[in-house]
Amino acid sequence: MEAAQLGASQVVRQVLEGRNLNQVLEKYLKDAHGLSPQQRGALQDLSYGTLRFYGQLARILEQLLHKPVRNESLRCLMLVALYQLQYSKAAVHAVVDHAVRSARKLDKAAGGLVNALLRSFLRSRDALLAAAAATDEGRYAYQQWWIDEVRVQYGDRAQDILLAGNQHPPMTLRVNRRRIAPADYLALLTQQNILASLIAPEAIRLEDPVPVGRLPGFADGLVSVQDAGAQCAAHLLDVNDGMRVLDACAAPGGKSAHLLELAQVDLMALDKDAVRLRRVDENLQRLGLRAVLQAGDAMRPGEWWDGKPFQRILADVPCSASGVVRRHPDIKWLRRAQDIEGFARQQLQILEALWQLLERGGKLLYATCSIFAQENRQVIDEFLQRHGDAQLQDMENWKAKMGWAVMSGVNNGQLLPNDQHDGFYYALLQKHT
């Protein structure tokens, strides 16, 4: 536990300084020697959990400290230990004892402070939690601007949306129909005593997450891990055999693979990052699928496009990722209010560039994993004002038409996060003939 606490405190500190959680965690685990698989898993859980509830934990720590702690690593260690005491099943005495030892490694004189602080939390837990919940950041664990924005846009639904972003995300599989039928794969899971249910055409939600190594046939390409909301994209794009299709901003390749699993299409998977594009290749190889992989900027098609129009385009554009914060809790603390406007400008530029590549009568699916209207419907509205040859397709009945029995919170293409799927936005545009 001591190694996990110390490691998590370093990861959390670097994230709060402005770095990406996945990148920091990957580097730390790569450089860390001698950690067991159990310690690595615990370190990751503590890092994610502390950042998920950082707003609440920081308010509690402020109440417990008589003056600010200058050693930021020590402060983050306290946050990690508070997370353990409030949310983990670890024995209380073990959490406190190991935190005291960890503190002494950071500052020889800090053991007594950490011991007193954690025991004070245990004595006054209810009062401290209540005081933290009196503030919006302490109650919901987001920055205030984020909370205010969700309230303005969603009114009475705001609380459910914010709280959904703090839950552990479901683990959902996408069955590769080219290899096995969803019902047959569900039977394989049952044979392995893995409880699961089919919630959409190819989407199987696990009762409890498991390592991919435990999934039958994963290495052979029977399934992939992909959120149920993300699986909407390939169905909405309405691909058929023989079509020329572009997946812009394709990495890591989940949506590209799903398109190829649904139809025999001529697919180009485009991404600006050549390193991330290799992940697309790896995923397609595991699934037994093929596509043209192209490194290039979606906003500059002149540098990579061959002049032949596409019949279908998936524009899965960069965004705030505000709909997937339960998978990436660092986003709640790294994003700034002004970032949203910047994303919206970039999204419109990508949309403008890709529209020129779509043949007449073709369809373009605009997609984000955001819940903010500035990146979603407002971008589409501005685009439609500029392009008389674009028509927004009716999506009111798409749920029932495709058999998405569990999709909820859908309003004009906006999926709100819940216990079945993350938050996404989809807008299907067709070019006039």
Residue 13 belongs to domain with CATH number: 1.10.940.10
pLDDT the model gives residue 196:
97
pLDDT digits (tens, 9 = 90+) for 358-408: 999 999 999 999 999 999 999 999 999 999 999 999 876 666 655 554 444
List of E strands, 279-402: 292-295, 310-316, 358-368, 390-392
Which tokens hold the place of 90?
A: 């670890």
Is residue 150 included in any domain, yes or no?
no
d(CA 35, CA 288): 35
Query: Catalytic annotation on 319?
Result: no
d(CA 275, CA 287): 20
pLDDT the model gives residue 101:
95
Is 190 in a helix, a strand, or coil?
helix
Statement to judge: residues 336 and 367 lie in one domain? yes
Statement to judge: residues 25 and 117 lie in one domain? yes
Is residue 390 included in any domain, yes or no?
yes
Is residue 157 included in any domain, yes or no?
no
pLDDT digits (tens, 9 = 90+) for 306-352: 999 999 999 999 999 999 999 999 999 999 999 999 999 999 999 99
> Residue 309 belongs to a domain with what CATH number?
3.40.50.150
pLDDT digits (tens, 9 = 90+) for 117-149: 999 999 999 999 999 999 999 999 999 999 999
Statement to judge: residues 129 and 65 lie in one domain? yes
Statement to judge: residues 246 and 293 lie in one domain? yes
Domain region containing 97: 2-139
Is residue 154 included in any domain, yes or no?
no
Is residue 144 included in any domain, yes or no?
no
pLDDT digits (tens, 9 = 90+) for 76-127: 999 999 999 999 999 999 999 999 999 999 999 999 999 999 999 999 999 9
**Across-strand partners of 245?**
267, 312
Statement to judge: residues 212 and 236 lie in one domain? no
pLDDT the model gives residue 126:
97
Lowest mean per-residue pLDDT among 1-5, 76-80, 190-194, 239-243: 1-5
| End-to-end CA separation in angstroms for the chain | 64
The widest CA-to-CA distance across the chain, in whole angstroms, is 75
pLDDT the model gives residue 37:
87
Statement to judge: residues 17 and 135 lie in one domain? yes
Please give the tally of structural domains in the chain.
Answer: 3
Which tokens hold the place of 138?
A: 């302490």
pLDDT the model gives residue 406:
44
Is residue 153 included in any domain, yes or no?
no
Contacts of 144 (CB under 8 A, 6+ apart): 136, 137
Statement to judge: residues 114 and 198 lie in one domain? no
Statement to judge: residues 18 and 126 lie in one domain? yes
pLDDT the model gives residue 405:
45
Indicate which residue of 76, 232, 319, 369 is catalytic: 369
Statement to judge: residues 131 and 206 lie in one domain? no
d(CA 414, CA 189): 31
Is residue 163 included in any domain, yes or no?
no
Statement to judge: residues 111 and 62 lie in one domain? yes
Statement to judge: residues 71 and 112 lie in one domain? yes
> Residue 177 belongs to a domain with what CATH number?
3.30.70.1170
Per cent of the chain over pLDDT 70 is 96
Statement to judge: residues 277 and 296 lie in one domain? yes
pLDDT digits (tens, 9 = 90+) for 29-60: 988 888 888 999 999 999 999 999 999 999 99
Is residue 365 included in any domain, yes or no?
yes
